[in-house]
Amino acid sequence: MFAQLANALPHFRNTNSGQFFLMAGPCVIEGEDMALRIAERIKHITDKLQIPYIFKGSYRKANRSRLDSFTGIGDETALRILQKVGREIGVPTVTDIHETTEAAFAAEYVDVLQIPAFLCRQTDLLIAAAKTGKVVNVKKGQFLSGDAMQFAVDKVRQSGNEHVILTERGNSFGYSDLVVDFRNLPAMQQFGVPVVMDVTHSLQKPNQSSGVTGGQPVLIETIAKAAIAVGADGLFIETHPTPATAKSDGANMLPLDQLEGLLTRLTTLRQALQDTGSIEALPA
């Protein structure tokens, strides 16, 4: 499964560490300097730990609770920053799209197109993303089982694109909470695609009365360790130098200065599981 991703992302082709891969970065692109600093820091950490890395940043936030919530610094401005991060830091990049017209536009700047969880059943959006030829990362809807994501994979593949990733991000529990059912990871791996655990979004507390999503970042390491133990191919972590001042999703992001320690512990866990035969090494 990892080999499929490596074939689609040239930056991954020389990676043979056997580690999980990482999608990480700020929730939204807030500016060029911040994006480059975050990407450079994460690249330094992941190089040291031999973790394949994809820089994540939304060029626009379309799903906001309130009209006055921050949505972005301008579509083309943010996409050009993502492109610059990819070129200067030397990593693939991922951003989310929301409408069919955005697919070809965003594909000019990034390597991976992400389909938000709420939109994972939007057939035209999946087809448009697939037809760009880019890797398509489909987040599992909060309202779906892992098994149901077979149809999202089929839509992308039947549109001529074999480069699919599925991402687990929890299931709705009541009106303002999410729970993670780790059975969904092996269920989605049965479709022959890399499966990622979105560690930070799965800890959201949505639909708060204030209109600002809450979170439980204290549990980031718990969810990440469980995902590695289950055999996740990759992790998705939103991180920011100062989450309290972030313009989006600050309540559930990991402080950037805590990332290296977390990843170090996770790579140790991954290696221990491989050594005991509890989990297979990812192929080069």
pLDDT in tens, 113-166: 999 999 999 999 999 999 999 999 999 999 999 999 999 999 999 999 999 999
- Structural domain contains residue 135: yes
Angstrom distance (rounded) from CA 44 to CA 264: 13
Residue 38 is part of a domain; what is its CATH number?
3.20.20.70
In a domain, 280, yes or no: no
Query: pLDDT tens digits for 197-217?
Result: 999 999 967 655 454 455 677
Can you give the pLDDT at residue 211?
Answer: 47
Residue 282 in domain: no
Residue 204, SS3 per DSSP: strand
The total of structural domains in the chain comes to 1
pLDDT at 107 over 60: yes
At residue 19, the 3 state secondary structure works out as coil
Q: Of 22-26, 180-184, 207-211, 218-222, which gets the smallest average pLDDT?
A: 207-211
Provide the domain limits for residue 222: 2-11+25-275
Mean pLDDT of the chain: 90
Q: Quick check: is 101 in a domain? A: yes
pLDDT computed for residue 209 by the predictor: 44
Kindly list the distances between the CA atom of residue 184 and the CA atoms of 79, 146, 191, 220, 258, in Å, as whole numbers in the listed order. Answer: 32, 4, 12, 18, 27
pLDDT of residue 61: 80
The per-residue pLDDT for 235 is 98
pLDDT value at residue 17: 67
**Residue-wise pLDDT tens digits, 52-78:** 999 999 999 876 666 767 676 899 999
Gap between the terminal Cα atoms of the chain: 10
Domain-located, residue 270:
yes
- Residue appearing with tokens 């480059």: 36
**Average of per-residue pLDDT across 225-235:** 97
* In a domain? residue 33: yes
- Percent of the chain topping pLDDT 90: 73
Residue 189 lies in a domain: yes
Residues 87 and 9: their CA atoms lie apart, in Å, by: 13
